[in-house]
Amino acid sequence: MKIFLCYPAVERPAADSIRLALVAEGHDVFFDRSDLPPGGEYHARIRGSIESSDLFIFLVSPESLSKGRYTLSELDIAQARWRHPAGHVLPVLVQPTPIKDLPPYLRAVTLLEPKGDVAADVASAVRQFSSSEPRVRWLVGAGLLLALASAGVFVFASLRESAKEIAGLLAAGGTQEEAHDYAGAWNTYDQTMQHIDGRPLTRWFDRKVAADVANARTDAAMRWLQDVYKPSEKKWSDVVDPLLPALEAAAAVAGGPRKADILAHRGWVDFLRTRDGRADLKPDVYYQLALEVDPANAYAHAMWGHWILWSGGTLPDAESHFRQALAGGTHRAYVRRTQFSALQNRQSDESALAQLRAANEMRRAQEILDASFRRRLFSIFDHKLGPHRESWEFLPQMTAAVPAVELVATYEWLFDDREFRFSDQRGASYYLALLQEASGEVAAAVKTLQAFRATLTPNDMSYREGVDRALARLSKAAPVRPK
């Protein structure tokens, strides 16, 4: 595999060890820029190397993300080549760096955070990239060509034409998946299966072809279900029913964790169908079957936790499944999305506090929370701490769920002014000041309130009164932080 290794000069020792590990695995690594001539030819060579590479590895550190660094220019070239980084770009954390500082393009894929030897972990990750390269490699294999040749010129020509058609369809499906068009990818893979089923010779000569296409179709179905959308004029069953035969067929032949993944998604199909009014369906039956196969399956636990809250079950039961889904560390972004969807659908004080706990956990783990969930989290503070109500009724419950000092940090993390401008949310500074007051940050709370008051107009009477009450309280408080 041709690999472009992007790193700042200060990380050259780490980059060199990674290069050696990758070269030992047989990869062609573009690494040393020192022998490139300066000026336009330098930039052209860099661009050409990135555009001809199969994989772009970006070493993440404060230096590589600093404004003006050439590493960001190289990242721009990679982004121009691959609209979506999935399957092409591998960001590797080599120095502590806040996740929120990563460009959105890098945050769109999983960040590799080495747990031991950096070079060994990168080499292992690249092996996974190599094994998941486009599923059409069998089409150019010499063994298949020899087998076709031995079958005769006519059969060879027929199968070669069939192979070209299948390769084109698989490539089209892969492109659709990269663009997150999972519905389109599903249809393309389904068309490919029909193409193979209509040509018995193709299936007879290489059964792996049919298996690879079937697996691609199953993967596309599961990814589609994780991000499914229903047009307003359709029912959920119109969208998901076509997936049922393929999922059930795949579950019948799969084993281990993959079988559990498929069974969990089969249960999710039934959940979506219940939204059409199908009270006879029990999605949790499939979640239980999945966990019998793989007790730690993240999909099954997350989906079951979601179903418990959707169907009126208890929060502790649901949170038990979410904890088990997160424990394994796999599919973490999906688990968090499912968890927050379930909690926000519940709309209760209990679920609001659970959201704050989960958000605090994500901040501490440097996870990424989608802006849509953050906006809905803001409504908790807006509804519970607004000046039109007595904020001290709910604030003690908040600080019991998340310690006050951590709650301030989580609030600032959730509503970072660069992405979630305080000016767009009228009471944001006021709520921050109340949290600072609760945490004992008296001076910070006074400063926040005074700055907020300066922005208020005579029409903002409720906020003016709330700010004045808070300032009066704080004037009597000792400016100390709790231990």
Question: What is the value of pTM for the model shown?
Answer: 0.66
Beta partners for 89?
Answer: 56
2-131 and 228-346 agree in CATH topology: no
pLDDT tens over the chain, length 483 residues: 899 999 998 999 999 999 999 999 889 998 766 545 555 567 788 888 898 898 999 999 999 999 888 899 999 999 988 878 877 899 999 999 988 889 988 987 788 888 888 999 899 888 876 654 544 444 434 344 444 444 444 444 555 666 677 777 888 888 888 788 888 888 888 888 877 766 655 555 556 677 888 888 999 999 999 989 888 899 999 999 999 999 999 999 999 999 999 999 999 999 999 999 999 999 999 999 999 999 999 999 999 999 999 999 999 999 999 999 999 888 999 999 999 999 999 989 999 999 999 999 999 998 988 888 888 899 999 889 888 765 567 899 999 999 999 999 999 999 876 666 655 677 899 999 999 999 999 999 999 999 999 999 888 898 999 999 999 989 886 554 444
Residue type, 145: L
Q: What is the pLDDT of residue 142?
A: 39
Domain residue spans in the chain?
2-131, 137-218, 228-346, 351-483
Q: What is the pLDDT of residue 478?
A: 56
In the chain, the N- to C-terminal Cα span, in Å, equals 54
**Pairing relationship of beta strands 28-30 and 55-60 according to DSSP bridges:** unpaired
Q: Which CATH architecture has domain 2-131?
A: 3-Layer(aba) Sandwich (3.40)
Domain 228-346 top-level CATH class: mainly alpha
CA dist., res. 304 & res. 325, Å (int): 10
Q: What is the pLDDT of residue 418?
A: 63
Asked whether 71 and 8 are in contact (CB, 8 A), the reply is yes
Closest CA to 1 of 90, 117, 105: 90
Predicted local distance difference test score (pLDDT) of residue 75 = 94
pLDDT the model gives residue 431: 93
For residue 447, CA distances in Å to 80, 151, 387, 474 come to 45, 83, 18, 11
